Structure 1
């Protein structure tokens, strides 16, 4: 199968690696000539260009650009494609993307691979990134069954675990486990930066170890991605942040009131519940 990838960063480049290894012919498009050449050199794509016309021969196209470019790029792309081409995206927000593209292109299905890291660019691409990772598909009532089946087949071949849900359900769920952690982690770093005594600030930096590294990782990642999450999943993220602030206030109250037994009970519940999310 000829598969197009628009956007050759971490996700697009990693998709290229795995889909090529499965025997597909990969056509890649990037805004940068240098990125196109790098993608060819490392074996992520068979052909690459800055011209959208390259994707005209694709049977399926993955849109792997940053969130804010997905809809505009699809609007430009569809004039180059036959109506049978299936388009899917990998954006971490689904409702606004699906609402905008579905009326433009019948053979569109929203998608979100729950994989990646804070690195960016084609140089961050890696093989087997999607193995045993959730891959969410968000078809709507008008999505053709053929498009769903073909994208499912491709995703399954990557070794991913497929989930189906409505776009709005996806956005509410990821606001808790993906977008909220980014903002909470960012606020942790910002709080540490508020230390006004230089000696204490330096000691904190010297002492920082695995606990701080783990909890600050996503908040210290790609700023553009964090802004796009907040901008395009604004309401769901605000709801999660308000609930998080309420939970934080509860912990503050317990410590202020020295209610150590209740605090321990809450921490025990957290200890018991965490494996439901991460194991």
Structure 2
């Protein structure tokens, strides 16, 4: 299968590395010529260019749009003159409702995708062939989605070593608002709160003492600002609802501590310990 990847950042570059490693013919498109040169030097792609028109010569069977979320639909629109009638197109955006139906109307062989993997660094230089191994890769078909698109995307998911998850765009956006988008906002708020400590001696000591607990809690808030902005802007209602729910729980914790209601706080923490274990990512590995 011939695959073209538009956007060779962390996700696009990692997909390119893995697919090339698995023997697929992979071609890249990037706005930055230097990125193309890096992708070629890494052996991630067989050919790379800066113009979408180059797709005609490559005639890919699958095109993956790995651009920032705001650019997915404009990129697909610009791609249309260069796609063959049987070319399947997918994206990797973290929000699906604003993308999937309009994209399917533009190109019937579109299916929404979202690999649940990432790092705090971006760019082709951060790409890893095994970035998706063992991670969920969400596919979000709708009623209009054609079966052949799913078959090709299922092959892609298997080849990169990910675990395929099927759901509709609305459910996807509500779920990732809880486990991806809300944590970014909480983590960013934690970093800001610590950084606003007025005593410089205490602030410096806190930075010195910060260990795995702070690292794990703050990691996603120290990531790429554009990604956090995309989450909030394009999944606004779900993020707002979840922020309000979170604030209510914080207020309850504040009340327990303020009134020294230790039994209430203890029961709460015991409950969260049990619930934490329900997430597969937190279960002991065999």
Smaller-chain TM-score bracket: over 0.9
What pairs up with 1:80-229 in 2 under 5 angstroms? 80-229=82-231
What pairs up with 1:62-77 in 2 under 5 angstroms? 62-77=64-79
In the alignment, which of 222, 234, 237 is matched to residue 236 of structure 2? 234
Distance in 1, Cα, partners of 2:11 & 2:51: 20
Distance in 1, Cα, partners of 2:105 & 2:132: 29
Contact 1:55 1:61 in 2 (8 A): no
Using the size of structure 2 for normalisation, the TM-score is 0.95
Distance in 1, Cα, partners of 2:136 & 2:218: 23
Distance in 2, Cα, partners of 1:190 & 1:154: 39
Is 1:38 aligned to residue 45 of structure 2?
A: no
Distance in 1, Cα, partners of 2:54 & 2:250: 51
Q: CA deviation at 1:84?
A: 1.1
Q: CA deviation at 1:55?
A: 2.2
Is 1:3 aligned to residue 13 of structure 2?
A: no
Pairwise CA RMSD: 0.9
**2:262 aligned residue:** 260
Q: CA deviation at 1:275?
A: 2.2
Distance in 1, Cα, partners of 2:214 & 2:122: 22
Distance in 1, Cα, partners of 2:6 & 2:36: 11
**Structure 2 residues not aligned, in runs of 5+:** none
**1:271 aligned residue:** 273
